[in-house]
Amino acid sequence: MAIVVGAAIEGVRLFGKRAGPISEAAMGPPLVRVEPARRGPAETTLTLPGDVTAFEDSPVYARVNGYVAKWMVDIGARVKAGQLLAEIETPELEQQLKQAQATVLQAKANAEIASITYRRYAGLVRTNAVSQQDVDNSQAALEARRADVVAAEAEVGRLQAMVGFQKIYAPFDGVVGARNLAKATTGALIDLGSHDPKAWLYRIYRMDPIRVYVAVPQNYLPMTKDGLVADVMVKEYPDRVFTGRVVRNAASLDVTSRTMLVEVEVPNPDGVLLPGMYSTVRFRLVNPTPPIVVADTAIIVVDTGPRIAVVGVEDIVQIRPVRLGRDFGRTIEVVAGCSESERIVVNPNDLLRSGTKVRVEVVAPPRS
């Protein structure tokens, strides 16, 4: 029984060896599945993280030395431009102003004496009682005393302006985002001589509109123009989409990330968008000349770079190098090396070579 089975198996082997070349010849050229190269969609959606910041963020400082006499607002208060925020008591400055005002009176008295002296000398020179040199000296002294009056009055004006800084006002309509507990409190010392950058009293935020900063990758920059509509979303308000527009950009790229900072301006009349929020920004980009896209399985990966197999008009395969763009998952952009409508082999195998004649089966291209 074993001998019979063994003979049968050997017969099958011999039959298989004879039938192999006959079936290959009958098959003819290999069959490949192709799809036409096509351009990607003109409109694409780009979603990136964004940082929400106030349209204006102004630290409010004191301009005079003294003590905080009153503070009127606290964090969260909505203020109007020109609204009083705090008052500073400045006893030393007030005394300096009084001294300057007295100096003006003194300078005016000296100028009056110089004027009288000049007029007398001008009359006496006609009788040769005084020399012309005395007249000239008295005239010069008069001009100097008049200049002293102007200088003294300017000092009074400067000190009066400084006294005006005793009251601190809001620079614009906004919200008090922070109050310096070490400075904006009753009795706190204001010392401008320390030049402390942390000596601010308040931080005022302008909240409407609000700015959202987005780092846009380099390859999307040609489509990210000023005026482009952007949808801003925050997870705290899942049912709302805040619509803004690109208003400006940094005009330079970060050398580390190869991204450019883009500013989106968003209306915020109800003040729900707050500085420091994390947001998601969605751009609808339109490319007038979208690049070619092919199936991801059509890319042949070799050491010298990516390739694709293109079937020509005579059904002859040509293996070409290509330069790839963005990867969409099922499809990949081909930036260079392929033209629209060319037939691309969808699943090339390792045996496919340039010059191979094939049989073609056209398949529907996948969606991006």
Query: In tens digits, what is the pLDDT along the chain, a chain of 368 residues?
Result: 444 444 444 444 433 444 444 444 455 788 888 888 888 777 788 899 999 999 988 888 888 888 888 888 888 889 999 899 998 888 888 888 899 999 999 999 999 999 988 888 888 878 888 788 888 888 898 899 999 999 999 999 998 888 888 888 998 888 998 888 877 888 888 877 556 667 788 889 998 899 999 999 988 888 888 899 999 999 989 899 999 999 998 888 888 889 999 999 999 998 899 998 999 999 998 877 778 888 888 888 888 888 888 888 788 888 888 888 877 788 888 888 788 888 888 888 877 888 888 877 777 765 55
Q: Which residue has 């409508």 as its token pair? A: 341
Please state the pTM of the whole predicted model.
0.64
Q: How many CB atoms lie within 10 A of CB 145?
A: 20
Q: Are 79 and 173 in contact (CB under 8 A)?
A: yes
Q: Which two tokens stand for residue 66?
A: 């003294």
Q: Which residue has 């400006």 as its token pair? A: 248
Q: Are 262 and 253 in contact (CB under 8 A)?
A: no
List of domains in the chain: 29-41+290-362 (2.40.420.20), 46-53+207-286 (2.40.30.170), 62-81+167-200 (no CATH), 91-164 (1.10.287)
